[in-house]
Amino acid sequence: MPVRFQVVIDCADPDRLARFWAVALGYQLAPPPTGFATWKDYYRDLGIPEEDLGDGADRISDPEGNGPSIWFNSVQDPKVVKNRLHFDIHASGARTDPIETRRRRVDAEADRLAGLGATITGALANEGLDHYAVGMKDPEGNEFDIN
């Protein structure tokens, strides 16, 4: 039986990244657990001190319940090295689609996410390969790819 899990992303501004990734992935800001009006109420019930409660959203979830939930954990340490784990967002369509069609789809998604605050770092294509992707960074510099 599969194990349930959530993805945790350390960041300086959980609300900013939660909102970015919710739109990027087609997720929603996660509703608070049953019995709690807000996530802050839930965290208070866990015993988290008031001064450690952030403002804004810090969790997102798949509205259809298929993908893992993602929690954006507030940490003050800056990001200093390349990610050891990253998202690959599939936007190109089927591999049987012409490479130029797939390239246009990938570029369109990269442009959409750049409009939300991401940075395009460059195309990831090797001559002779039937593959095209674009490297990107989210608003806090975490790397991800669109393919």
134 and 96 inside one domain: yes
Residue 1 lies in a domain: no
11 and 46 inside one domain: yes
**Can you read off the two tokens belonging to residue 126?**
């090797």
End-of-domain residue from the set 74, 97, 121: 74
End-of-domain residue from the set 32, 52, 74: 74
**Cα 139 from Cα 112, distance rounded (Å):** 13
What are 29-70's pLDDT values in tens digits?
Answer: 999 999 999 989 998 998 888 888 888 899 999 999 999 999
Task: Please say whether the beta carbons of 131 and 115 come within 8 A.
Answer: no
Element (H, E) at 7: strand 6-11
* pLDDT score at 77: 86
Beta bridge partners of 119: 137
Residue 96 lies in a domain: yes
Average pLDDT, whole number, for the chain? 91
15 and 65 inside one domain: yes
DSSP string across 39-57: HHHHHHHHT--GGG--SS-
* pLDDT score at 124: 83
**Can you read off the two tokens belonging to residue 73?**
């954990």
Residue 32 lies in a domain: yes
Pick from 99, 109, 85: nearest CA to 23:
109
Residue 81 lies in a domain: no
Residue 78 has pLDDT above 90, yes or no: no
Residue 61 lies in a domain: yes
Q: What angle do CA 73, 76, 82 make, to 5 degrees?
A: 80
99 and 59 inside one domain: no
End-of-domain residue from the set 74, 103, 118: 74
DSSP code for 31 = P
Q: What is the domain range of residue 91?
A: 87-146
Average pLDDT over residues 9-15: 93
18 and 67 inside one domain: yes
Question: What is the pTM (predicted TM-score) of this model?
Answer: 0.86
Percentage of the residues of the chain whose pLDDT score is greater than 90: 70
